[in-house]
Amino acid sequence: MEKNIWEGNGHEQGSLSSQVFNKIQDDIINGRYKPGDSLVETKLAEELGVSRTPVREAIRQLELEGLVTYIPNKGVYVTGITKQDIEDIYTIRSLVEGLAVRWAIERIEESELKKLEETVELMEYYTEKGDMEQVTKLDTRFHEIIYDACKSRVLQNTLKNLLRYVKKARLTSLKVPKRAYQSLEEHKQILNAFKNHELEKGEQLMIHHISRASLNLHGDKENGDKLISHS
């Protein structure tokens, strides 16, 4: 019997192959496996404490995702996520998340609006303290409240999948307090759009917010500061 190494430790439940896929995918996204690295079924199976079958299935899925490439007679190699991939993801995300804000402003419940307001207040508190770990967690919470408030499972799943791919870039923002302050101000403006029931303005503010994050990812050309996305 295969040993489920994730049982009871907080990872999402599902088939073993899905859990193996998520683990390897995270390792690629987070940079543990870098472009050009070879992925060997037997070695992965041993490291993860599973048989080769779920590893093989996970690798097939990773190939469909474009994260690995199979080269005949050579093996499987990590393709990873390119700068162009990240740029594309941010462009798509800005449009989709803008729509999420529009729908969320229409559909948000009073309790969700209260959570959004409390999250921004906490973001301001921890930004002033310079606790970027907490700021990043609250940043994620802010966006997830909006995803839930838009009341669309399709949109929620789309956005959560996109965020998986930019996780590493977002975490790098811990070292960039300046972007944290900019991001805080942008979150405040989006919150005000919710309070004033401004659908179009809220949508445009979110598009700007994500687009600004994408620009910071590649460096702020206007003032020469090397910033990393925080959104």
**Which is nearest to 167 in space by CA: 99, 74, 90?**
90
How many Cβ atoms are within 10 Å of 40's Cβ, its own excluded?
A: 13
CA distance 219 to 226: 4
Tokens of 11: 């990872």
Write the CATH number of the domain with boundaries 83-217.
1.20.120.530
173-184 tens-digit pLDDT: 445 557 788 899
* pLDDT recorded at residue 1: 38
Sign of CA dihedral 215, 218, 222, 227: positive
- In this prediction, residue 13 carries a pLDDT of 37
List Cα–Cα distances, 173 to 121, 152, 182, in angstroms.
Answer: 19, 29, 12
Q: What is the pLDDT, as a whole number, of residue 169?
A: 61
Taking only the tens place, the pLDDT of each residue in 57-80 is 999 999 988 899 999 989 999 998
Write down the pTM of the prediction: 0.72
Please list, in sequence order, all residues whose beta carbon lies within 8 angstroms of the beta carbon of residue 34, skipping any fewer than 6 positions away.
78, 80
Instruction: Answer whether 208's CB lies under 8 Å from 98's CB.
Output: no
Mean pLDDT by 10 residues, the chain (231 residues): 43 70 88 91 93 93 90 92 83 94 97 98 94 88 95 92 72 60 94 97 95 68 38 60
Contact 25, 74 (CB under 8 A): no
Q: What is the pLDDT of residue 176?
A: 56
| Domain map (residue ranges) of the chain | 16-78, 83-217
Pick the CATH number of 16-78 from 3.40.309.10, 1.10.10.10, 3.40.50.2000, 1.25.40.10: 1.10.10.10
C-alpha distances (whole Å) from 163 to each of 28, 58, 66, 90, 210 are: 14, 20, 16, 9, 12
Looking at residue 229, what is its pLDDT?
43
User: Hey, how many other C-beta atoms are within 10 angstroms of the C-beta on 130?
Assistant: 10
pLDDT of residue 170: 60
What phi, psi does 54 have (nearest 5°)?
Answer: -65, -30
Query: Which pLDDT score is estimated for 205?
Result: 97
* Residue written as token pair 């229409």: 106
Which are the contacts of 207, defined by CB distance < 8 A and separation ≥ 6? Answer: 94, 95, 97, 98
Same fold, 16-78 and 83-217: no
